[in-house]
Amino acid sequence: MEKKKDEKELLTIGSGDLYQPYSWSVGHYGSKFLHELKDHKKLLGIRCPKCNKVYVPPRKVCGKCYVAMDEFVELSDEGEIYACTIIQFGFVDPGTGIQRPVPYGYAFIKLDGADTCLSHFVDSTDPEKFKVGARVKAVFEEKRKGSIVDIKHFTLI
Partner 1 sequence: MGKKVAVVGFGQTKGRSARKDVNGVELINEAVVAALADAELTIKDIDAVVIGNMDHFEGVNYVDSWSVEGSGGVMKPIFKVTTGGTTGTTVAMSAYYHVASGMFDKVLAIGWEKNSESDTTGAIITAFDPVWERPNLGGAIAGLALEASKYMSTYGITERDGARVAVRERLHALNNPFAHLHQEWMKGIPVDQLVELLVTSKENVMLAYPLRMSDMCPRTDAAAAAIFASEDVAEKMAAVPAWVASTTNRHNFALAGDVDMDRNTTMASAAKRAFEKAGIKEPLKEIGVCELYLPYSYAGLKWMEDYGFCAYGEGPKLVWDKVTDMDGELPVNPSGGVMSSNPIGATGLIRVGEAALQIMRKAGTRQVQKDVNFAFITGFGGCYWADVMVLGKKKPS
Q: What angle do CA 84, 147, 76 make, to 5 degrees?
A: 60
Question: Per this entry, what is the length of the chain?
Answer: 157
Partner interacting with residue 62 (select from Zn ion, partner 1, none; CB below 5-8 Å by kind):
Zn ion
- Identify the residue among 44, 46, 54, 62 touching Zn ion (CB under 5 A): 62
H/E run at residue 154? strand 151-156
- Identify the residue among 35, 40, 42, 50 touching Zn ion (CB under 5 A): 50
CB 77 within 8 A of CB 109: no
The DSSP output letter for 112 is: T
Q: Which stretch binds Zn ion (CB under 5 A): 36-44, 64-72, 100-108, 115-123?
A: 64-72
Q: Which stretch binds partner 1 (CB under 8 A): 36-44, 72-80, 104-112, 137-145?
A: 104-112
Q: What angle do CA 73, 75, 76 make, to 5 degrees?
A: 155
Amino acid at 61: V
**Where does this chain bind partner 1 (CB under 8 A)?**
6, 10, 12, 15, 22, 24, 26, 30, 55-57, 59, 63, 82-89, 91-95, 100, 106-108, 116-121, 127, 131-133, 147-149
